[in-house]
Structure 1
Amino acid sequence: MAKKHGNVFTLWGGTQPVIVLSGLESIKEALIKHSEIFAGRPLTPFFEDVTKGKGILFSNGHTWKQQRKFGIVTMRRLGLGKKGVQSQLENEALQLVEIFAHAKGQPIDPSLSIINSVCNVVCALVFGHRYTVDDEEFLNLIKAIDYIIRFGGSFFNLMYEGFPWLMKHIPWPYKQAFASVDVMRSLARKETERHRAEQTMHEPQDFIDYYLLQMEKSKKDPTSTYNEENLFQCISDLFIAGTDTTSKTLQWALLLMVTHPDIQEKVQKELDDASQAIGYQDRKKIPYTFALIHEVMRYKCILLVGNFRLSLQDVTILGSFIPKGSIIVLDIHSVFSDPKIWETPEKFNPSHFLDKDGKFVDREELVLFGAGSRVCIGKELAKMELITLFSNLLRAFTFKLPEGVKEVSTKPVLGFILPPHRYKLCAIPRNSET
């Protein structure tokens, strides 16, 4: 459609115009040059009913600015990009390696083990502790996150967005969606009460501690938006945004190692030549592995489109007028498949993120995390998780298809999130220590 109508064009969702920005130039002009104008988030009927405009992901205006600023500052205090979070990630990596080792080279579905590890990273940051993989509350949390992600963009979700007045009278398709939201909120409420009872906020160790401390500091400020409702929604946002996308990207990475054994071998050689413990802080020692993780995010981009934006003022993008209040869709796949940007856009090629000397290049064209004032606050955490979990797995195992399986689908399951089809692989230990 962009080839026919240009890189800024309009689709209609019922009576609602939706403006699509296609290509790097239009997306950069909107998100960077006009960052504040496109800082709004449209609230569709379902997400309005679920979030009430609270938290970080679906809030706007003063609430969004306060919650987002708090989120960024707190992530830094918790050690994002530093040794604090890295030690937790290395612990999860060891747990994951152990689970794969128990399979003793037999076919396993890696999806559940991976999502358990990624979700536990968020649990440690938010709650201050991880769960055992058989904990009932933890399993219910995983199921709730999975259902909400699958519900988003589904037929029933679209029906709710188009006919909310009708759908509220026939609620049966939506009971599980709202019940899943309640599971996350209930756990957030329980953990908050535990933190209050233990009185840990004056020596804060996790997200809830810092938030409760901020609530106390701001209780006399009439402009403060720091309250329990925003806290519970922030926690839900962190789990929704930080669990499924990262875990599915790691699933893609392992699947691509199975289908590209030559690349897998090259990664393993680099890891073997590096230091014994591999983590985010070692990324300069493993440029090819780091480039590979970024190429997975490009080649098997986990999002159908970028998160929707709302134009807060009239503006012109590439000569096209966009009125205030327009819903904006970012066609990020148009950037990732552009032959003018990538040497081999249709192929899995880690060299897209390497210079001529083999050093990693962090390219602005990887717009998966957004840009400007709404750039994802968990961007660095996601990269830390991916590089730490992936590199530890590749150092310990060689991944192959089960005996007798000649090929596996590399097409995504269609939805707002684009995961791989369920698959099994064999994790073959590379040395006796494993």
Structure 2
Amino acid sequence: MVISFIMAVMETLLLHVSTTGALLAALLALLVIYLFFFASKSPGEDKEPPGPKPLPLLGNLHLLDLKQLHVSLLNLSKKYGSVFKVHLGPKKVVVLTGFKAVKQALVNQAEEFGERDITAVFRDINEGHGIAFANGDGWKEMRRFTLSTLRDFGMGRKLSEEKITEETQYLREVFEAFQGNPFNTAQLVNYAVSNIISAIVYGKRFEYDDPKFQEMVNVANLNMQMLGSAVIQIYNMFPALGPWLKTWTLLMKNIDSNRTLMQGLVNRLRETLNPSDCRGLVDAFLIHKQSIDESGEGDSHFHDRNLIMTVANLFAAGTDTTGTTLRWALLLMAKYPHIQDRVHEEIDRVLAGREPITEDRKNLPYTDAVIHETQRLANIVPLNLPHMTSRDVHFNGYVIKKGTCVLPLLTSVLRDENEWETPNTFNPAHFLDEKGQMKKREAFMPFSAGRRMCLGEGLARMELFLFFTSLLQHFRFTPPPGVSEDELDLTPVVGLVLNPSPHKLCAVSRAEQNTTTQQ
């Protein structure tokens, strides 16, 4: 309304001025009117969070390192506080930093901050389907169905434990084949973790040397790196640039390739579908879809596009994050051998040679603390996924308008100096009480929190415990010959997920090591 009034005044003035001086006077009058309207607001009315002044079109890009955006935003928070705004190109984003602000938003005001902000690249990929980058009734129904089905297939319970225990044996065999020589853990760990999701989704695991399986996992991992790249962040700000960006073109090609592979797997399951023998989540989806079609209920969210996107979301969330965390854990064991010694001692004492089970977690507090501390320090999703306000929100003295993108910065929670004694140091004592038992820490939020927290948390926790404990039971992880612990680099490779820098480790068989020691 104010802008319309000003435009009307401008048109009137321009029609009635004929000299440069008169034109300047008219523009001055407009400026006074503009300032009058915006300065006449009541104190505190529509008070937005503070932030750096944006440049036209570019916003605050001149202040940001897109290769380490989480670091740039943390630095800005030191000047502007725990709630501030920043412009990523023309888009305004509100950033929340520190445990108190993030908890207040995601937990205490979960409904208001519970929508997903869907950036251009995820709009291209998901098209509003699936569970990670969707909103509304479709998202609610897919999330409800997925959670229910995952529970039916034992997510976080005995059935999942059996699948994970079986997969640890396959992974150990591959590690043993290197006979203590250096190798890159990345692909093998990702194959193992991906097989857990495969077993739950498709009802089967894949051999590590299956070329289609390798392609599916490797391309998915490459996509996660590209999704967090500076190029794709620029695309999100200026989508019209897409056809001229090689990274975006390759990403779209990869997405189509993986979608074709997944569709092929779904089609084969559809051809052999037996409603009385549900093999996995895909079968459950197809059976439910079949019943809806037969009942003639009309429009439904149960269609192939939603199925493929839901499966893709589960693989992305359940493979890359868990696999990356496990790789960080093995790297940290090689980096800090004295901590690895304590883990070995506890595992040997408690398990006495038998296979670990989930119930052992409570009797292995130091091992559990090491896993938790790995998740905290590795900080693998530092930016979190973007949220969006569902309505106008009054938050910490500010007003955040409906539809605003909000970044609850997880790195600021996991390394909050007010919550952690040594926030930038690998210190399992963060999770141990004075008696050496596990203690809960509210600021431990690697899975985020609230309505959008990771729905696979239970499965991921079980995987990390069983894989890590089993591997540490059988191997000692060391740097390659000629490389010292100090030379192992903890600098992450930035993507949507923070991966360890490329490296090799030696997995030395503890059984052989003990035999050699005894001789």
TM-score under structure 2 length normalisation: 0.81
Write the letter of the residue equivalent to 1:81. G
The one of 207, 210, 225 equivalent to 1:150 is 225
Write the mapping of 1:39-78 to structure 2, written as runs, cut at 5 A: 39-78=114-153
Q: Aligned letter for 1:304?
A: P
What displacement does 1:88 show?
A: 0.9
Structure 1: give runs of 5+ residues left out of the alignment. Answer: none
3-state SS of paired residue (1:431):
helix
Aligned partner of residue 243 in structure 1, secondary structure: helix
2:285 corresponds to which of 207, 211, 231: 211
RMSD of aligned C-alpha atoms? Answer: 1.6
Q: Could you list the runs of 4 or more consecutive aligned residues of structure 1 that deviate by over 4 angstroms after TM superposition?
A: none
Asked if the contact 2:259/2:308 (under 8 Å) is kept, the reply is: yes
Structure 2 CA distance for aligned equivalents of residues 147 and 423 of structure 1:
17
Match of 1:390 in 2: 468
Does the alignment pair 1:365 with 2:439? Answer: no
Decide which of 314, 318, 326 is 1:238's aligned counterpart.
Answer: 314
1:307 counterpart SS class? coil
Aligned to 1:330: 408
How far is the alpha carbon of 1:223 from its aligned partner? 5.5
TM superposition shift of 1:124? 0.9
- Partner Cα separation in structure 1 for residue 273 and residue 369 of structure 2: 43
* Alpha-carbon shift at residue 106 of structure 1 (Å): 1.1
SS in 2 for 1:316: strand
2:84 counterpart of 1:9:
yes
Counterparts of 1:322 and 1:202, CA distance in 2: 50
Distance in 2, matches of 1:375 and 1:223, equals: 28
**Counterpart in the other structure of 2:367:** 289
Q: How does 1:334-413 map to 2 (within 5 A)?
A: 334-406=412-484, 407-413=487-493
- Largest Rg, 1 or 2: 2
SS in 2 for 1:218: helix
Counterparts in 2 of 1:290 and 1:200: CA distance versus 1, 3 Å: farther
Matched to 2:306, the amino acid is: N
CA offsets, 1:296-355, max 9 Å, x none? 010111112111101010112211211101001111111222232112212111121122
The answer (yes or no) to whether the contact 1:270–1:289 under 8 Å persists in 2 is yes
Tell me the amino acid that sits aligned with residue 287 of structure 1. Answer: P
1:171 shift after superposition: 6.1
Alpha-carbon deviation of 1:98?
0.9
2:201 is matched with 126
* Corresponding residue to 1:425 among 505, 512, 515: 505
Q: Which residue of 2 aligns with 1:315?
A: 393
Task: Indicate conservation of the 8 Å contact 1:22/1:335, yes or no.
Answer: yes
Alignment CA distance shift 1:328-1:278 (3 Å): same
- After the TM superposition, which residues 61-210 of structure 1 pair with which residues of structure 2 at under 5 Å, given as runs? 61-168=136-243, 170=244, 172-210=246-284
| 8 Å CA contact retained: 1:19, 1:327 | yes
1: CA distance, partners of 2:282 / 2:178: 36
Q: Equivalents in 2 of 1:189, 1:204: separation in Å?
A: 18
Q: Which amino acid aligns with 1:430?
A: R
Quote how far apart the aligned CAs of 1:146 are: 1.4
CA distance in 1, matches of 2:264, 2:459: 25
Q: Spell out, residue by residue over 1:248-269, the C-alpha distance to the aligned partner (whole angstroms, 9 max, x if none).
A: 1111101110111111011111
Report if the CA contact (8 A) 2:226-2:247 is conserved. Answer: no
Q: Does 1:226 align with 2:302?
A: yes
Distance 1:130 1:415 in 2: 27
Structure 2: which amino acid aligns with 1:374?
A: R
Query: 1:198 corresponds to which letter in structure 2?
Result: T
Secondary structure in 2 matching 1:240: helix
**Which residue identity lines up with residue 283 of structure 1 in the other structure?**
R
CA contact (8 A) 1:81 1:280 kept: no
1:183 Cα deviation after fit: 2.5
Residue 354 of structure 1 aligns with an amino acid whose one-letter code is L
- Deviations along 1:141-171, whole A, 9 cap, x unmatched? 0122012101112133123222222423x36
**TM-score of the two chains, using structure 1 as the length reference:** 0.96
Give the superposition deviation at 1:172. 4.3
Aligned length: 433
The question of whether the paired residues in 2 share the 8 Å contact of 1:74 and 1:210 is answered with: yes
Q: In 2, distance between residues paired with 1:173 and 1:413? A: 17
8 Å CA contact 1:140–1:183 kept in 2: the answer is no
Residues 93-102 or 150-159, more deviating:
150-159
TM superposition shift of 1:128: 0.9
Name the CA distance, whole Å, in 1 between partners of 2:327 and 2:125. Answer: 29
Instruction: Note the C-alpha offset of 1:391.
Output: 0.7
Contact 1:78 1:205 in 2 (8 A): no
For the 8 Å contact 2:391–2:401, the answer to whether it is kept is yes
In 2: Cα distance, 1:281 partner to 1:79 partner: 15
